[in-house]
Amino acid sequence: MCTAIRKEHLFGRNLDLDYDIHQEVILIGRDHLLEFIKEPEVTKHPAILGMGMVVNGYPLLSDAMNENGLAGAGLNFPNNAVFFPYKEGKRNVSPFELLPYVLSHFSSVKEVKDFFRDSNLLNIPFSEQLPLAPLHYIFADKAESIVVESTASGLSIYDNPYDVLTNNPPFPFHISNAKRYLSLTSKYPQNKIPMIDLVPDSVGFGSIGLPGDYSSASRFIKAFYLNKFLKLSHDVDKNIVTFINALNQISFLPGLTQDKIGKDELTIYSSCMDLNDFTYSYKRLYDRSITTIKPEEKQINSDQIITL
């Protein structure tokens, strides 16, 4: 499953799976050689910080940011994601290398949009043991976010004023579905029936109708509500806690939701990237506290992939 949110200069996600793949925070140093299947290798690039796995020396990222304040994440998109053979005249990138490619080449969402207008997502897996995951993507900077979906009809790029993404159905459905919730508000409601003296029993009546189930469409609306009414402060540490607590409101806990084979869907971790400060914070399912990683300058300048 999964849910991602951009809130001002913060970006993060819940990674929801029915198993733990034991991902770790990794840093790709500025001088680390990045190779791609069809595109030229890169020897100099911004440092990249994110969560993922290093397999045979290659960083397989689930979500990450670069030091210039651009971030991205891949979210589950089964039965809709379609990737294609090599296309002449396009920039051909496989989904498993998409985050390293984008974050090593670009610094803003505008640049990413331009790239995707001339690109093709390849149907070439990392290996036989690691086939391509059916994903769609959200990319964000401090000003905006976009959603990218490769389906049977081709590659689509959507501006994302909601600054959230979940899973199926495709993004146009979520845009249309949001119209059903125009009346939601965080404010104390006012009586609109003047002939009757109606007084709310408690605070929170403005959010009546906010979905509480775990479906992708409902999580999109709840994430949108949380994101738009959430207030950040000038305290960096408080903001990280607030952001991850918001993600916790739409997380999967043991026993609450099962998949089609009867396994519990679980939020493996919740992340928060500070696009101002190049820090990666996360909280795993059974952690009592949040861990924040800020790389040292010598690590940023290295030619290595470093597990932090």
Residues annotated as catalytic (active site), given as ranges: 2
Distance separating alpha carbons of residues 139 and 143, to the nearest angstrom: 11
What contacts 132, CB < 8 A, 6 or more positions away? 83, 94, 95, 96, 123, 124, 125, 126
Residue showing tokens 């689930």: 62
Distance separating alpha carbons of residues 191 and 215, to the nearest angstrom: 32
Cβ count within 10 A of residue 229: 14
Q: How far apart are the first and last CA of the chain?
A: 26
Distance separating alpha carbons of residues 274 and 193, to the nearest angstrom: 45
Cα–Cα distance list, 33 to 22, 57, 175, 215, 294 (Å):
25, 11, 39, 40, 22
Closest CA to 49 of 296, 303, 304, 295: 295
Secondary structure class of 218 (helix, strand, coil): helix
Give 164's strand partners.
5
Residue showing tokens 């640049």: 111
Yes or no: say if 204 and 44 are a contact pair by the CB < 8 Å rule.
Answer: no
